[in-house]
């Protein structure tokens, strides 16, 4: 069996042709595909505005510059990729790590306790971990009651929803970010986007994406003024053409992911030591399928299990090593927060291969090998 990774892109001839078309055109960047992709993302998510950027980390960087002030404190989760909390530091603000719930998402009840204690908390950065969208009613309540900013990190949740509220629609948040890295739901190679319903934030993000400069045709047709310290975080037309083509297939990709999730759930339902992270959730976009294994009751530890699976050409993955326990964060004084749920989660959680082109045959091979080692 060829190596089976935990995630990968699904690219077809139509995707390739749409990229080739751009390569043969006059505009490789700053052309019409950028706006077309942004419009298509707005139509899909329901948000009013969208700014495409060069990757999800750039999206978080600009979002943090637009939302935060120096020394603001921000509640966030240890269970995410580094970029989520790093972006708070980029804006010279201070992340506060809050424990997670059973489903791997930030505990919004604990967030409220923090908000009651500390007036300097200006925002919550919530990640819809694995694709499961955090409770939107609670998010709305916290935003209104405590007058805070909300950023939704939707890198895992494009196509997901909580009841009828779609991920990245920004119904209860100021900004949402997306990533189009190849393991995500749709890809542009590298790529990301920020969505919002706030025109002022949208205009600020446009400026920040493009060196902080604004055309000033009143002076001359070629004249521009630099108003802010911005960046070049533009996404190319080549990438946007791929994104547009991929977006057409997103609902099909989601269906296949869910079909694979149901097959995994069915395969492990008799195994006492393996549990899905949460019961099947039809609103989850299932970027990841995470299982919790009770290694204390098994005669193998987590690391050896993952290593032995690699010997069988199966790539399992850890999502995530707690951010606050990273050496860099420890040097900043983090790492001793009380996060018992995250600690236990980290001992038990493993992500299994999940992507639209994973065949049932490959999935059955993964299941068979897990059962041989654990059941
Ligand atoms: C939750 C989360 N946020 C942000 C990012 C950053 O996205 P990118 O890799 O496109 O920079 C990732 C990427 O893995 C992610 O998983």
C-alpha 40 – ligand 1 centre gap (Å): 21
- The predicted pLDDT at position 32 comes to 98
Question: What number is the average pLDDT over the span 40-48?
Answer: 98
The atom number, within ligand 1, closest to the CA of 58 reads: 11
- The predicted pLDDT at position 287 comes to 98
Among 8-12, 294-298, 305-309, the minimum mean pLDDT is found in 294-298
Pocket probe mutation, ligand 1, options 7, 56, 321, max atoms within 8 Å of Cβ: 56
Question: What number is the average pLDDT over the span 313-328?
Answer: 98
- The predicted pLDDT at position 87 comes to 99
- The predicted pLDDT at position 50 comes to 98
The atom number, within ligand 1, closest to the CA of 287 reads: 16
The SS3 of residue 209 is helix
For ligand 1, whether the C-beta of 53 sits within 6 Å is no
As a whole-number percent, the residues of the chain with pLDDT over 90 amount to 99
Burial class (CB within 10 angstroms; exposed 0-12, middle 13-18, buried 19+) of 175: buried
CB 151 within 8 A of CB 177: yes
pLDDT in tens, 115-158: 999 999 999 999 999 999 999 999 999 999 999 999 999 999 99
> CA gyration radius for the chain?
21
Write down the pTM of the prediction: 0.98
C-alpha 81 – ligand 1 centre gap (Å): 6
Q: Across-strand partners of 94? A: 73
For ligand 1, whether the C-beta of 104 sits within 6 Å is no
CB 77 within 8 A of CB 114: no
For ligand 1, whether the C-beta of 7 sits within 6 Å is no
Question: What number is the average pLDDT over the span 283-288?
Answer: 98
Q: Across-strand partners of 100? A: 106
Q: What is the DSSP letter of 326?
A: S
C-alpha 373 – ligand 1 centre gap (Å): 31
Evaluate the CA torsion angle 176, 179, 184, 185 in order and state its sign: positive
- The predicted pLDDT at position 236 comes to 98
Q: Is the pLDDT score of 265 beyond 90? A: yes
C-alpha 179 – ligand 1 centre gap (Å): 6
Question: What number is the average pLDDT over the span 13-41?
Answer: 98
For ligand 1, whether the C-beta of 84 sits within 6 Å is yes
Q: Which run of H or of E encompasses 206?
A: helix 199-209
Q: Is the pLDDT score of 53 beyond 90? A: yes
- The predicted pLDDT at position 299 comes to 87
For ligand 1, whether the C-beta of 125 sits within 6 Å is no
For ligand 1, whether the C-beta of 57 sits within 6 Å is yes
- The predicted pLDDT at position 361 comes to 98
For ligand 1, whether the C-beta of 80 sits within 6 Å is yes
pLDDT in tens, 58-107: 999 999 999 999 999 999 999 999 999 999 999 999 999 999 999 999 99
Q: At what angle do helices 360-374 and 250-268 cross, to 10 degrees?
A: 30
pLDDT in tens, 350-365: 999 999 999 999 999 9
C-alpha 155 – ligand 1 centre gap (Å): 6
Q: What are the residues whose beta carbons fall under 8 Å from the beta carbon of 171, sequence distance 6 or more?
A: 46, 136, 140, 165, 197
CA distance 151 to 96: 14
- The predicted pLDDT at position 239 comes to 98
Question: What number is the average pLDDT over the span 195-203?
Answer: 98
Question: What number is the average pLDDT over the span 217-246?
Answer: 98
For ligand 1, whether the C-beta of 181 sits within 6 Å is yes
* pLDDT band, residue 375 (cuts 50/70/90): confident
């Amino acid at each position: 069996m060829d190596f089976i990774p935990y995630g990968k892109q699904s690219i077809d001839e139509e995707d390739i042709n749409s990229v080739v078309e751009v390569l043969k055109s006059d505009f490789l960047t700053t052309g019409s595909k950028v706006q077309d992709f942004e419009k298509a993302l707005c139509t899909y998510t329901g948000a009013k505005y969208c700014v495409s950027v060069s990757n999800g980390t750039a999206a978080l960087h600009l979002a943090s510059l637009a939302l935060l002030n120096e020394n603001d404190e921000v509640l966030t989760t240890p269970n995410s990729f580094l970029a989520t909390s790093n972006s708070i530091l980029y804006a010279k603000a201070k992340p506060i790590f809050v424990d997670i719930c059973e489903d791997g998402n930030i505990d919004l009840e604990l967030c409220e306790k923090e908000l009651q204690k500390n007036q300097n908390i200006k925002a919550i950065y919530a990640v819809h971990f694995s694709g499961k969208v955090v409770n939107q009613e609670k998010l709305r309540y916290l935003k209104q009651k405590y007058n805070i900013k909300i950023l939704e990190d939707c890198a895992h949740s494009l196509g997901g929803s909580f009841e009828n509220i779609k991920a990245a629609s920004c119904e209860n948040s100021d900004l949402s970010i997306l990533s189009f890295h190849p393991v995500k739901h749709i890809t542009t190679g590298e790529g990301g986007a920020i969505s919002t319903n706030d025109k002022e934030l949208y205009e600020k993000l446009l400026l920040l994406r493009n060196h902080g400069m604004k055309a000033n045709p009143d002076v001359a047709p070629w004249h521009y003024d630099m108003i802010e310290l911005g960046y070049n975080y533009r996404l190319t037309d080549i990438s946007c053409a791929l994104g547009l083509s991929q977006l057409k297939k997103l609902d099909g990709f989601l269906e296949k992911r869910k079909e694979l999730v149901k097959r995994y759930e069915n395969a492990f339902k008799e195994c006492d030591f393996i549990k899905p992270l949460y019961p099947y959730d039809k609103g989850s976009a299932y970027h990841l399928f995470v299982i919790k294994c009770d290694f204390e009751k098994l005669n193998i530890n987590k690391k050896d299990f993952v290593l032995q699976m690699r010997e069988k050409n199966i790539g399992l993955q850890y999502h995530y090593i707690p951010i606050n326990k990273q050496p860099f964060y420890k040097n900043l004084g983090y790492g001793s927060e009380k996060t018992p749920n995250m600690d236990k989660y980290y001992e038990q959680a493993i992500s299994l291969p999940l992507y639209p082109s994973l065949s049932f045959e490959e999935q059955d091979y993964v299941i068979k090998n897990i059962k041989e080692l654990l059941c």
